[in-house]
Structure 1
């Protein structure tokens, strides 16, 4: 933002970590882990309670964190957008393409073995967007994360007031025409819905130093966000399908819940030993893989929603996360996890 001090991702991530902790904040990584658990739970079960309690915040939390950790480049940086695209492509799209290729080959072999192989079975995973379901149902998220980051960097070229107006306009268009935009390839039609959450996250970044009691403030935000849901005033949102819920209110609710959770975790983690921070960060390296592959685990289990018990959720979380932790210790960590190898 114009006039704001340069704040790096590392600066924000370490600001609320204990002395001697690693360069990442365990609290921020804990929110990532919690949001992934919410995403998986939302795919294990379904219904109004799940939609209201999970879909409202679990994906917006990731976009809010993108804004919270944002490093402004300033209007004079001509290479900011290409540099952002290269960096995000390496950490988001390379793992996306790698897992898409691996799972698609396996998927096509299994479909052929079952006699269920169709043209859509090949085309839809490659095209992406909201048309994908089943084992590729969560793949929409990664292109949306990539495109929104590049778009947000590009918007730094215009004054803040214009930037806010553009983001509000994009949000309004998606709210009105989300059903038409959602099926477009690689989530290009709905990625813009992430911008409003990134803007809110960056706003939180700039006022964070003024929050002296993060647990209490976060609890107030959390209660304020859940109250409209409990009252039935705020509909759930689902960015994948371009569904942004009750106009304006659902977005505010999502920001309050995800921001409130972040503040609570930051306040709590300052009181926890370094080992908890390290454990949280270790788990966070597997978030991307769990998001991409848990739907395949559910597809293989082939258990109807109504018959799924808690062990299905545990399996869909533990199996991909365990594999991710193993991969993190190998040379495949960067292409499959988007993270450097743990040595």
Structure 2
């Protein structure tokens, strides 16, 4: 893959920032409308967008780096973010559960949170624990899953495109088998994420959506990409049964119909200041908006006549949770992380 055909790894890519900005808004909105049809539609594609973007950002330089340097540059930050945000989430969880209405024993909470952080999976049942532990905040699975998928991409990226496609298909099958198995360190989620990184990497390798291409070419390429992402997501998230066939078929169509118009617009020239900020802030918004939701839930229960209006799932409650999440966490990201420069 000629390095001249690939944007420099350090250069911002405006449409990728716009894509990630849309993705993080959908992540927060999806959690705010849990249990609704909108939630199901958003969940059919919102996380693949992030993995796809990470695959596109995988550069020729990454593929040529020594494995040790690559692990230090791309994988260690994922694990560091996981541990830092895990400790923040665990501390909040322990405070709420021990000193809140539940009054659960401190020793039990410490044991559960330690098991959750060390397992880094959706659920993990360890001996002597009365119930499965759950990674909390729930978004933290993303960091170890991304680390696994990036390692897989690094080990396979120099292969020919047909080989990468075959590996991605194999990962589809393995990810479907491993789904919800609770493998340690989110290995099952990492396997399921690998195909989306491959798709993004192949798109970058062959550049079908660069601005230099005519709009019909970009539109057709994006339609193919989004239909593929939607189809893969549907296969990985739906049970293998006849009753799920209709939903499986509709998901990629809804995915393409909702996202395609916006994604085609993302490739337009122009500044991306706000989308760039949202894209970078997703590092903080993604794991911590669940804490914001929890705080708001506790506050709204004490809001008297406004309790029903601002309850979880109500229109005003949805707007409140989404707006407060970004109003609090974007400035927090700027204060805590942005001063050291945006992540590579």
Q: Does the alignment reach a TM-score above 0.5?
A: yes
Q: How many residues align?
A: 311
Q: Secondary structure at the match of 1:203?
A: helix
Cα distance in 1 for partners of 2:104, 2:29 equals 28
Q: Confirm whether residue 173 of structure 1 aligns to residue 178 of structure 2.
A: no
Cα distance in 1 for partners of 2:258, 2:121 equals 24
**1:294 CA displacement:** 0.9
Q: Which residue of 1 aligns with 2:305?
A: none
Q: Secondary structure at the match of 1:93?
A: helix
**1:172 CA displacement:** 0.6
**1:316 CA displacement:** 3.6
Q: Which residues in structure 2 correspond to 1:1-343 (within 5 Å)?
A: 4-6=1-3, 10-11=7-8, 23-47=11-35, 49-73=37-61, 77=64, 79-114=65-100, 115-117=103-105, 118=108, 119-131=111-123, 135-156=136-157, 158-180=159-181, 183-205=182-204, 206-208=206-208, 209=210, 211-213=213-215, 217=219, 221=223, 225=227, 237=234, 256=256, 260=260, 263-268=263-268, 270=269, 272=270, 274=271, 277-302=272-297, 307-330=312-335, 332-333=336-337, 340=341
What do the CA deviations read for 1:53-78 (whole angstroms, capped 9, x no partner)? 20111100011111222212487x4x
What do the CA deviations read for 1:82-103 (whole angstroms, capped 9, x no partner)? 2222112354222221121122
Q: 1:49 to 1:242 in 2, by over 3 A?
A: closer
Segments of 5+ residues of structure 1 without an aligned counterpart are: 14-22
8 Å contact 1:52–1:235 — kept in the other structure? Answer: no
Cα distance in 2 for partners of 1:164, 1:216 equals 21
Cα distance in 1 for partners of 2:7, 2:93 equals 39
Q: 1:179 to 1:323 in 2, by over 3 A?
A: closer
Cα distance in 1 for partners of 2:279, 2:316 equals 22
Q: Secondary structure at the match of 1:285?
A: helix
Q: 1:7 to 1:86 in 2, by over 3 A?
A: farther
RMSD: 4.2
Q: Which residue of 2 aligns with 1:19?
A: none
Give the greater-gyration-radius structure (CA).
2
TM-score w.r.t. the length of structure 1 is: 0.73
TM-score w.r.t. the length of structure 2 is: 0.73
**1:129 CA displacement:** 1.5
Q: 1:55 to 1:309 in 2, by over 3 A?
A: same
**1:315 CA displacement:** 4.0
**1:221 CA displacement:** 2.0
Q: 1:298 to 1:194 in 2, by over 3 A?
A: same
Greater relative contact order structure (CA < 8 Å, 6+ sep):
1
8 Å contact 1:290–1:317 — kept in the other structure? Answer: no
Cα distance in 2 for partners of 1:26, 1:7 equals 19
Cα distance in 1 for partners of 2:74, 2:313 equals 36
**1:296 CA displacement:** 1.6
